[in-house]
């Protein structure tokens, strides 16, 4: 039986492209909705194709509704994601998959696993009838030639492994009519108690026989070292199955957090643990091109990150987030600010008190004991009201010091020859004048403040230095962040956090917009994002492949949502009661109101979301609840 051509099938399209371009695709087992959501979000953030796998035991209890949920989740993602039924061995599970397909709820592919058969001939005879029926339903099938040792949650235990005989592979695939082959080359399900001994020569022969026709799938890959992935992908493997590598951190985190936190908080932490591992794995596999590691993904390499403005609350949160980021192994930090920043625990850090407008001091940042940074986060600056009040000093810091950093990088260059990633935090203040109702990536920036002028000028330098190949720039125009912790800043937007932060702590706050709760001025719309989402997006920015940006600009308006000043105050009342509202005092400030009113309040998030950035959901109330819990 010859496999038909499945034109437009998600699984086969994903694997065919991976084989042609020389990378692997993560196929991850998901046991529940939390895992499935985390996996899809991880794939979107990494801009990677992926395959979401269900075990038969999950299909048996979730049935049609859960499969429909997974299909909708995967198929509506911004990257190609397929849904696959793995290790369908028992007839009732295969029949259930077929029955759902007849109802219009069909897997993109399934594995009919008859590897428990005593002989290859018996394997063919068991699998072939199901494969024929699957093809009538438009579902390609994966099969296993040989037999893997071991077992996992949801799989039967196998104690006698049987290596694939490549000389029999052609006959076997013709006999079953299968579309994907999972060979046994010394891999096993579960934990490797001894160093893995993969027979790469088997893969070499299989790839030579099936290249361009039948994708190869590798089972039993949890926890393998980088060099094995490199060899296997070089030898034709495109589908990489994993299970416990992400499942176990999920279960461990959920168990530990349930003893001290509420169930939603524990579930959120467990989901993030699952997403963190899968993000790291996705990034690795899609970068194993030409059988070598992309420089970013080498787990043995250092990640030296320079953060300017590191003593501020944003820099401090970013440093801690990078420490927890699975995609930034071996982190080392250079933290710089006008006061000496605080280093996060358990990270090799150089903390420096510095004047970033001084050429010699800036040059010293690139000569510390940690060596040349791989990534620079340029967070420092004189805020909006400070820039407006002291025009010359604002430009000296917001333009001059950024230019000093750029020129130092240009003159020195990274010893490896790689371009330094330069992540710059810009602002909504670059916009002004008459604006369209919806800001898009092509909307012209015309600032109406000194702060906006400084930010836009530095943006232009970064775009030009990127175009000339001096740096790899990433320019992030941040929404107004709520709720900022700590004392108020000199930013014109500082009140947006203060009217939430101070009342939640029993303190008075001044609102410079309007003169009372009844003032129509409170209907001023704002473009907002939470600190949690903003920090996650800052971390993500350094992981985006350079080729995903258009050639003419590195500017990205980070995703946000629109809320009015009144929406903020009403949300505070819902969360904390009328007593909190009474702590807000009104003192209308025409200068403040003019500057904030010039900022846009509604953006098209499409471009940023397609790059894998996140956006808050649910408006102000979840943000205020979260901030209140963390006080």
Domain boundaries in the chain? 10-295, 381-630
List CB contacts of 143: < 8 A, sequence separation 6 or more. 111, 112, 113, 114, 123, 127, 131, 172, 173, 176, 178, 180, 181, 182
pLDDT score recorded for residue 605: 93
DSSP 584-628: EEE---HHHHHHHHTS---B--HHHHHTT-----S-HHHHHHHHH
Supply the pLDDT for residue 117: 73
Separation CA 594–CA 585 (nearest Å):
19
Mean pLDDT of the chain: 87
With tokens 């333009």, the residue in question is: 399
- For residues 120 and 167, what is the distance between their CA atoms, to the nearest angstrom? 12
Looking at residues 424-442, what average pLDDT do you find?
Answer: 91
Domain boundaries 381-630, corresponding CATH code: 3.40.50.720
Give tens-digit pLDDT for 77-129: 888 899 999 989 899 999 999 999 999 999 999 999 887 777 778 888 888 89
Highest mean pLDDT among 36-50, 90-104, 184-198, 382-396: 90-104
Q: What is the pLDDT of residue 330?
A: 80
Would you call 227 exposed, middle or buried from its count of C-beta atoms within 10 A (0-12, 13-18, 19+)? exposed
Give mean pLDDT, residues 200-214. Answer: 88
Compute the distance between CA of residue 345 and CA of residue 171 in angstroms, rounded to an integer: 59
Bigger pLDDT: 284 or 118?
A: 118
Amino acid 151: pLDDT: 52
For 319, the token pair is 């440093």
User: Does the structure show a pLDDT above 60 at 2?
Assistant: no
3-state DSSP call for residue 394?
helix
What local confidence, expressed as pLDDT, does residue 43 receive? 85
**What pairs with residue 133 in β-bridges?**
none
Q: Is 621 exposed, middle or buried, given 0-12, 13-18 or 19+ CB atoms closer than 10 A?
A: middle
pLDDT given for residue 41 in this prediction: 86
Q: Mean pLDDT, to the nearest integer, of 34-39? A: 91
Q: Note the pLDDT of residue 295.
A: 31
Residue 232 and residue 229: Cα distance in Å, rounded?
5
Quick one: pLDDT at residue 189? 64
Residue 433 has pLDDT above 90, yes or no: no
Question: Average of pLDDT values for 554-580?
Answer: 95
Torsion of CA 201, 203, 207, 213, to 10 degrees: 160
Asked if pLDDT for residue 287 goes beyond 80, the answer is: no
Segment among 279-283, 459-463, 470-474 with least mean pLDDT: 279-283
Q: How far apart are CA 444 and CA 463, in angstroms?
A: 15
Residue 5: which pLDDT band, with cuts at 50, 70 and 90? Answer: low
Residue 437 has pLDDT above 70, yes or no: yes
309 three-class SS:
coil
| pTM (two decimals) | 0.62
What pLDDT band is residue 246 in, cutting at 50, 70 and 90? Answer: confident
Over residues 298-319, the mean pLDDT reads 83
The confidence score (pLDDT) of residue 465 equals 98
pLDDT over 60 at 157, yes or no:
no
Annotated catalytic residue 207: no
Q: Which of 61, 451, 465, 607 is catalytic?
A: 451
- CA-wise closest residue to 444 among 457, 430, 464: 430
Q: Which of 148-162, 216-230, 252-266 has the highest mean pLDDT?
A: 252-266
In this model, does residue 254 exceed pLDDT 60?
Answer: yes
The pLDDT-based confidence of 490 (bands split at 50, 70, 90) is low
Name the pLDDT band for 159 (thresholds 50, 70, 90).
Answer: very low
**pLDDT-above-70 percentage for the chain:** 90
Integer-rounded Cα radius of gyration of the chain = 27
The pLDDT of residue 4 is: 59
Judge if 10-295 and 381-630 fold alike in CATH terms: no
> pLDDT tier at 223 (50, 70, 90 boundaries)?
low
Q: Which residue has the higher pLDDT, 572 or 384?
A: 572
Comparing 234 with 377, the larger pLDDT belongs to 377
φ, ψ for residue 43, nearest 5 deg: -65, -40
Residue 490: exposure state from Cβ atoms within 10 A (0-12, 13-18, ≥19):
middle
Q: Number of C-alpha atoms within 13 angstroms, CB side, residue 18?
A: 35
Helices (H), 262-401: 263-286, 313-324, 359-364, 384-389, 391-395
Q: Mean pLDDT across the stretch 367-396? A: 93
Distances (CA, A) of 97 to 89, 132, 346, 369, 425: 12, 14, 49, 59, 49
Superfamily for 10-295?
A: Aldolase class I (3.20.20.70)
Token readout for 616 is 């808050």
What's the rounded Cα separation, in Å, for the pair 472 and 485? Answer: 31
74-110 exposure pattern, b = at least 16 Cβ within 10 A, e = fewer: beebebbbbbbbbbbbeeebbebbbebbeeebbbbbb
List 333's β-bridge partners, or say none.
Answer: 305, 349
458: alpha, beta or left? (left if phi > 0; alpha if psi -120 to 50) = alpha
In the chain, the percentage of residues whose pLDDT exceeds 90 is 51
The reply to whether omega before 483 is within 30° of 0 (cis) is yes
- Position 530 scores a pLDDT of 93
The total number of residues written for the chain in this structure: 631
| pLDDT confidence of residue 374 | 93
Q: Region 418-429: what's the mean pLDDT?
A: 94
User: CB count, 10 Å around CB of 546?
Assistant: 12
Residue with tokens 């025009």: 391
Q: Are 524 and 493 in contact (CB under 8 A)?
A: no
Note whether 230 and 300 are within 8 A (CB): no
Cα 420 to chain centroid, rounded: 20
Average pLDDT over residues 294-305: 52
**What is the Cβ-side half-sphere exposure of residue 166, based on CA atoms within 13 angstroms?**
14
150 versus 90: the higher-pLDDT residue is 90
Listing DSSP states for 351-387 in one string gives EEE--TT-HHHHHHTTSSTT-S-SEEEE-----HHHH
- For 299, 355, 363, 574, the CA distances from 333, given in Å and listed in that order, are 17, 18, 16, 41
């Amino acid at each position: 039986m010859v496999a038909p051509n499945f034109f437009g099938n998600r699984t086969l399209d994903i694997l065919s492209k991976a084989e042609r371009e020389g990378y692997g695709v993560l196929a991850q087992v998901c046991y529940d909705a939390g895992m499935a959501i985390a996996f899809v979000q991880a794939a979107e953030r990494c801009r990677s194709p992926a395959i979401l796998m269900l075990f038969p035991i999950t299909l048996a209890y979730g049935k049609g509704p859960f499969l429909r949920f997974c299909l909708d989740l995967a198929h509506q993602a911004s990257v190609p994601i397929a849904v696959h039924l793995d290790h369908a061995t028992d007839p009732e599970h295969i029949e259930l998959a077929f029955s759902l397909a007849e109802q219009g709820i069909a897997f993109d592919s399934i594995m009919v696993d008859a590897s428990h058969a005593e002989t290859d001939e018996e394997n063919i005879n068991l699998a072939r009838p199901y494969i024929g029926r699957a093809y009538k339903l438009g579902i390609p099938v994966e099969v296993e030639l040989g037999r893997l040792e071991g077992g996992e949650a949801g799989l039967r235990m196998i104690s006698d492994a049987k290596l694939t005989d490549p000389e029999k592979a052609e006959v076997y695939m013709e006999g079953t009519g299968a579309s994907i082959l999972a060979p046994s080359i010394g891999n096993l399900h579960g934990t490797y108690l001894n160093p893995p001994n993969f027979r790469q020569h088997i893969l070499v022969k299989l790839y030579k026989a099936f290249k361009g026709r039948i994708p190869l799938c590798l089972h039993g890959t949890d926890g393998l070292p980088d060099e094995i992935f490199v060899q296997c992908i070089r030898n034709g493997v495109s589908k990489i199955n994993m299970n416990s590598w992400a499942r176990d951190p999920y279960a461990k985190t959920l168990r530990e957090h349930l003893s001290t936190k509420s169930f939603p908080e524990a579930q959120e932490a467990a989901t993030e643990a699952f997403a963190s591992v899968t993000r790291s794995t996705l990034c690795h596999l899609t970068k194993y091109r030409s059988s070598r590691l992309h420089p970013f993904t080498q787990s043995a390499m250092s990640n030296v990150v320079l953060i300017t403005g590191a003593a501020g609350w944003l820099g401090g949160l970013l440093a801690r987030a990078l420490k927890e980021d699975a995609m930034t192994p071996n982190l080392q930090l250079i933290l710089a600010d006008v006061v000496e920043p605080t280093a996060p625990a358990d990270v090799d850090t150089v903390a420096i008190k510095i004047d970033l407008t001084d050429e010699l001091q800036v040059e010293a940042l690139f000569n510390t004991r940690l060596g040349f940074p791989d990534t620079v986060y340029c967070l420092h600056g004189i805020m909006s009201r400070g820039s407006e009040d002291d025009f010359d000093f604002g430009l000296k810091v917001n333009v001059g010091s950024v230019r000093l950093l750029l020129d130092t990088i240009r003159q020195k260059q990274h010893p490896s020859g790689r371009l330094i990633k330069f992540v710059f935090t810009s602002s909504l203040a670059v916009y002004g004048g008459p604006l369209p109702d919806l800001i898009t990536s092509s909307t012209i920036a015309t600032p109406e403040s000194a702060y906006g002028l400084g930010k836009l000028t530095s943006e232009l330098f970064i775009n030009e230095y990127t175009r000339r190949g001096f740096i790899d720039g990433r320019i992030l125009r941040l929404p107004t962040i709520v709720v900022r912790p700590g004392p108020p800043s000199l930013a014109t937007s500082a009140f947006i956090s203060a009217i939430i932060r101070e009342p939640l702590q029993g303190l008075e706050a001044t609102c410079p917009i309007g003169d009372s709760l009844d003032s129509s001025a409170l209907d001023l719309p704002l473009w907002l994002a939470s600190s949690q989402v903003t920090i996650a997006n800052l971390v993500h920015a350094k992981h985006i492949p350079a080729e995903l940006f258009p050639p003419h600009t590195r500017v990205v308006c980070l995703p946000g949502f629109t809320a009015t000043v009144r929406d903020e105050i009403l949300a505070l009342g819902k969360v904390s009661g009328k007593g909190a509202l009474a702590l807000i005092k009104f003192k209308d400030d025409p200068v403040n109101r003019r500057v904030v009113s010039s900022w846009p309040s509604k953006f098209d998030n499409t471009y940023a979301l397609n790059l894998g950035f996140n956006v808050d959901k649910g408006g102000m109330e979840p943000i205020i609840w979260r901030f209140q819990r963390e006080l």
